[in-house]
Amino acid sequence: MIYNSIIETIGNTPLVRLNKVNKGIKGEILVKVEYFNPGNSMKDRMAIKMIEDAEKAGILKPGGTIIEGTSGNTGMGLALGAIAKGYKCIFTLADKQSKEKMDILKAVGAEVIVCPTNVSPDDPRSYYSVARKLNKDIPNSFYPNQYDNLSNTAAHYETTGPEIWKDTEGKITHYAAGVGTGGSMCGTAKYLKEQNPAIVSVGIDTYGSVFKKYKETGVFDENEVYPYLTEGIGEDILPKNVDFSMIDTFVKVTDKDAAIMTRRLAREEGLFVGWSCGSAVHGALEYAKEHLKEGDRMVIILPDHGTRYLGKVYNDDWMRNHGFLEDKAYATARQVIASRDADYQLITVDKSIKVSEAIHIMNDKGVSQIPVSEGAHVVGSLTDNKLLHKIIENPNLKDAQVAEVMEDPMKFVALDSTLDVLSSMLDKEKAVLVRAEDQSVHILTKQDILAAITKA
Say which residue, 64 or 409, is predicted with more confidence.
Answer: 64
Q: Say what the pLDDT of residue 225 is.
A: 85
Same domain flag for 210 and 186 = yes
Rounded Cα distance between 303 and 265, Å, is 13
Last residue of a domain, one of 321, 355, 375: 321
Same domain flag for 35 and 73 = no
Same domain flag for 265 and 230 = yes
Same domain flag for 159 and 134 = no
Across 372-391, b (16+ Cβ under 10 Å) vs e yields bbeeeebbbbbbeeebeebb
Stretch 243-266: mean pLDDT? 95
First to last CA, the chain: 60
Using alpha carbons, select from 48, 24, 29 the residue that is nearest to residue 37.
Answer: 48
Q: Say what the pLDDT of residue 326 is.
A: 58
188 in a structural domain = yes
Same domain flag for 68 and 104 = yes
The residue range of the domain holding 418 is 333-455
Which one of the listed residues 32, 43, 252, 256 is annotated catalytic?
43
When the pLDDT of each residue in the chain is averaged and rounded to a whole number, the result is 91
Same domain flag for 138 and 154 = no
Rounded Cα distance between 305 and 285, Å, is 20
What number of residues does the chain have?
456
The CATH number of whichever domain residue 446 belongs to comes to: 3.10.580.10
Same domain flag for 214 and 105 = no
Angle at 442 between CA 440 and CA 444, to 5 degrees: 165
Same domain flag for 304 and 192 = yes
26 in a structural domain = yes
Last residue of a domain, one of 142, 159, 193: 142
The C-alpha torsion from 385 through 389 and 395 to 398, rounded to 10°, is -30
To the query of whether residue 43 is one of the catalytic residues in this protein, the response is yes
Q: pTM for this structure?
A: 0.74
Listed range (186-190, 372-376, 411-415) with the worst mean pLDDT:
411-415
Confidence check: pLDDT of 330 > 70: no
397 in a structural domain = yes
Backbone angles phi, psi at 176, to 5 degrees: -130, 140
328 in a structural domain = no
1 in a structural domain = no
Last residue of a domain, one of 321, 346, 374: 321
Confidence check: pLDDT of 90 > 90: yes
The CATH number of whichever domain residue 290 belongs to comes to: 3.40.50.1100
Stretch 117-142: mean pLDDT? 89
Stretch 244-271: mean pLDDT? 96
Number of domains in the chain: 3
Q: Letter for the amino acid at 215?
A: K
Percentage of the chain with pLDDT > 70?
97
Residues sharing a CB contact under 8 Å with residue 65, sequence separation 6 or more, in sequence order: 87, 88, 89, 90, 138, 140, 141, 142
78 contacts 47 by C-beta, under 8 angstroms? yes
Listed range (201-210, 211-220, 370-379) with the worst mean pLDDT:
370-379
Rounded Cα distance between 295 and 411, Å, is 45
What is the sign, positive or negative, of the torsion defined by CA atoms of 117, 118, 120, 125? negative
Say which residue, 448 or 394, is predicted with more confidence.
Answer: 394
Backbone angles phi, psi at 300, to 5 degrees: -115, 135
Stretch 194-223: mean pLDDT? 94
Same domain flag for 355 and 310 = no
Q: DSSP assignment of 85-111, as one string?
A: HT-EEEEEEETTS-HHHHHHHHHTT-E
- Computed on alpha carbons and rounded to an integer, the radius of gyration of the chain in Å comes to 24
Q: Say what the pLDDT of residue 329 is.
A: 47
Confidence check: pLDDT of 31 > 70: yes
DSSP 408: P
36 contacts 14 by C-beta, under 8 angstroms? yes
Same domain flag for 34 and 49 = no
Rounded Cα distance between 56 and 318, Å, is 45
Element spanning 453, H or E: helix 446-455
Q: Say what the pLDDT of residue 328 is.
A: 45
265 in a structural domain = yes
Rounded Cα distance between 151 and 45, Å, is 10
Q: Say what the pLDDT of residue 349 is.
A: 92
User: Under the phi-then-psi rule, with left for phi > 0, alpha for psi from -120 to 50, and beta for the rest, what region is 319?
Assistant: alpha
Stretch 93-119: mean pLDDT? 87
Say which residue, 167 or 390, is predicted with more confidence.
Answer: 167
Q: How far is CA 31 from the centre of its chain?
A: 20
Strand order in the sheet with 141-142: 111-115, 88-94, 65-69, 141-142
Across 34-46, b (16+ Cβ under 10 Å) vs e yields bbbbbbbbbbbbb
Same domain flag for 128 and 155 = no
Same domain flag for 307 and 160 = yes
Listed range (235-244, 286-295, 318-327) with the worst mean pLDDT:
318-327
